[in-house]
Structure 1
Amino acid sequence: MRFISKSKPTTRRGFLAATALLAGTLLFTSCLNDIESPELPPAAYVSIFQGATDAPAMDIFANQNRVNQQPVQYTQVLPYSAYYPGRRDFRFSAFNSATSLLEKDLVLEADSVYSIFVAPEATGIDAILVKDIWEEPTAEKAQLRFVHLSPDAGKVYLQAVGTSTPLVTESSVKSVSGFEELTPGNIILTVKSSTTDEVLIQTGTLALKGNRVYTLVLRGLKAEASGEKKLDVQLITNFVNY
């Protein structure tokens, strides 16, 4: 399932302001109509989620520039930040290590928004680059996508409790759905096996709000009964239209 935006995409200037707010940075703009704000240099905006269960705390580099200030732990998210567009050599290594867990060339386009999902592999980790495309957020709708990062959960589908039509069908490991619009309010989501219809995990009551764009991540291991590596879901807020 792939979603293509039919509305005007969020402007680069507007997106930069919003992501700066989400990251806890105050962005001041002039109120004087006769003063033009400076033109921003070309940039792509990238968020990184660490979803590899067995990976150590890591450093992440783009063309030799470290992009994290603190070691990135399992389940942590680096919020959207500006990157130079073009081919970027992303390197993932254990914290303070000179050796690499993974090196991958990723191409970033100017004025585009991306997420990188660090995913588990049988022999290490992988990095999945996805272009984030959503409708212009409104108060009447929330938007949600589903990311499957559990290596032993098999194919799954996502369904809201009390409904008969899945929100996402046939999701396999390392797949990322498109953003789907939902009515804001309280919702309980269930991840079920596509093969057996077994309920693998169910969220608590989620209060989805309008003007928000969300990602729900399935992570961890079905084989683990407890601890931080057990199968779980995590809700991430990608964007708030203030």
Structure 2
Amino acid sequence: MKINSNHMMGFRIWISLLALIPLLTLFSCLDNNDEGPVPDTAFVSIYHGSPNAPELDIYTESRRITNSPLAYSQSFPYSQFFAADRTLKFNPHNASNTLLETEHTFEKDKIYTLFIVNEVADLEVLQIEDSWEDPDGDHAMVRLAHLSPDAGELEVLINDESLPFGNSNPYLEVTEFLKMEKAKVKVTVKSKISGEKLVEVNEIDLRGNRVYTLMIRGFADPSKGNNQLSVQLITNYIKF
């Protein structure tokens, strides 16, 4: 996404509208009581993709930014963060110990997603800069994020024939956003090594004027727990 004043204004309005949706209670990562000039900010979303990690409280430096715990497969929606070098800490909900502490650089007016990935013993955060073209009424922008820690290399088919995200999708790959026609599509996930069909989902609804991330997440091995391999579509942005 090329940042310009009109586009950024639209994104800021969309961020404000998100605050009205009670899917996840949050408060601003900025201190509204600060006086002086408005600081430079970036926009950051955080997705919990570790299938055996607990619900998390997230801190920037020493300040908790989540009012409600972030559970597996949930997103902390895009929020304004100071554009600077930032330290994030991830604690089990209502616990004092820290599972992971990470350092991130956020640049002015840029948009990022932080993916919490891997099994809890090897927890890490994958930082991706989100960049897309504006969708239109007949098209969506869609990317693929392979977050399953034990599924190996994958092939992701759309309607049994198309491989829009390439012939091979390795673990922790987050593709570029691709333009796709609005439609209800079938998504099939296969092992690249064995050719085995791992999961299939019918009638995923891709709507126009939207930007999506198609998540492949969870454990391919059912013995590892209840959060088994699955497909999840999340909305990054709606063009009003």
TM-score, with structure 2 as normaliser: 0.86
Hey, what does 1:206 align to over in structure 2? 204
Query: Paired residue for 2:14?
Result: 18
2:114 is aligned to: 116
> CA 1:143 to 1:10, structure 2 compared with 1: closer, same or farther past 3 Å?
farther
The structure 2 residue matched to 1:218, chosen from 216, 219, 222, is: 216
- Shift in alpha-carbon separation, 1:157–1:16, aligned structure 2, 3 A: same
**Unaligned segments of structure 1, at least 5 residues:** 26-38
What are the ranges of 5 or more consecutive residues in structure 2 without an aligned counterpart?
Answer: 22-36
Report SS of the residue matched to 2:10: helix
Q: Deviations over 1:19-38 (max 9, x none)?
A: 2213326xxxxxxxxxxxxx
- What is the identity, as a one-letter code, of the residue corresponding to 2:8? R
State which drifts further: 62-71 or 77-86.
Answer: 62-71
Cα distance in 2 for residues equivalent to 1:226 and 1:179: 31
- The answer on whether the counterparts of 1:144 and 1:179 sit within 8 Å (CA) in structure 2 is yes
CA contact (8 A) 1:145 1:216 kept: yes
Matched-pair contact (CA < 8 Å) for 1:7–1:135? no
Instruction: Tell me which residue corresponds to 1:31.
Output: none
Distance 1:94 1:157 in 2: 34
Match of 1:174 in 2: 172
C-alpha distance in structure 2 between counterparts of 1:202 and 1:154, whole Å: 17
The answer to whether structure 1 residue 156 and structure 2 residue 151 are counterparts is: no
Matched position secondary structure for 1:171: coil
1:217–1:235 Cα contact (<8 Å) kept: yes
Shift of 1:135: 0.2
- The question of whether the paired residues in 2 share the 8 Å contact of 1:92 and 1:102 is answered with yes
- Contact kept, 8 Å, 1:156 with 1:171, in 2: the verdict is yes
Residue 33 of structure 1: aligned partner: none
Give, in whole Å, the separation in 2 of the partners of 1:11 and 1:98. 40
Q: Is the 8 A contact 2:49 2:117 kept in 1?
A: yes
Structure 2 residue identity aligned to 1:20? S
Task: Give the whole-Å Cα distance in 1 for the aligned partners of 2:75 and 2:232.
Answer: 11
Q: TM-score normalised to the size of structure 1? A: 0.86
Number of aligned positions between the proteins: 225
Root-mean-square deviation (CA, aligned residues, Å) is: 2.2
Mapped contact 1:212–1:237 kept (Cα < 8 A)? yes
Q: Which residue of the partner structure matches residue 237 of structure 1?
A: 235
Is the Cα–Cα contact under 8 Å of residues 41 and 81 in structure 2 kept in the other structure?
Answer: yes
Paired residues of 1:7 and 1:136 also in contact (CA < 8 A): no
Change (3 A) 1:164 1:84: closer
1:88 aligns with 2:86: yes
Q: What is the CA–CA distance in structure 1 between the aligned matches of 2:206 and 2:178, rounded to whole Å?
A: 13
- 1:147 is matched with 145
Residue 157 of structure 1 aligns with an amino acid whose one-letter code is E
Question: What is the CA–CA distance in structure 1 between the aligned matches of 2:179 and 2:38, rounded to whole Å?
Answer: 31
- Cα separation, 2, equivalents of 1:53 and 1:98: 21
Given the superposition, is the C-alpha separation of residues 124 and 134 from structure 1 closer, same or farther in structure 2, using an over 3 Å criterion?
A: same
